[in-house]
A = this chain, B = another copy of it.
């Protein structure tokens, strides 16, 4: 049997599976999912971004980004404003979106806490620093 314990991709996938499952549970009462919260966070960090820019930030294409915005708009969390370029839409959080985001982040923080329980403060900082180092930060949408 192959030594899966040493496969970074496999281990990360297993961890993500668990984190995602817990996040999904935590977000269920909001009618949200991890993918939607991620989109919401990117929009919050880049108010007025276009749908195409949002897609680039999330590594998804225009059509998929539009569907996400549709879902968030239906939930009343974001709105499409007119942009300088009349072809584009400027996507921004509504007041309800800002409020909801705070509640969701707190719910996610609790879900993360359950996962991170085995780690002390230093180990958590090290882990976060390492992940940040590896991750191409796709939160710039402009």
Contact partners of A58 in chain B: CB under 8 A: 17
A19-B15 in contact (CB<8A): no
A7-B131 in contact (CB<8A): no
B16-A16 in contact (CB<8A): yes
CA–CA, A132 and B106, complex, Å:
26
Contact partners of A128 in chain B: CB under 8 A: 6, 8, 11
Instruction: Count identical subunits in the complex.
Output: 2
CA–CA, A19 and B12, complex, Å:
9
CA–CA, A11 and B15, complex, Å:
13
Nearest chain B CB to A38 CB, angstrom units: 6
Contact partners of A126 in chain B: CB under 8 A: 126, 130
* Residue ranges of A at the interface with B (Cβ–Cβ < 8 Å): 1-2, 4-21, 23, 34, 38, 41, 44-45, 58-59, 101-102, 105, 108-109, 111-112, 115-116, 118-119, 123-124, 126-128, 130-139
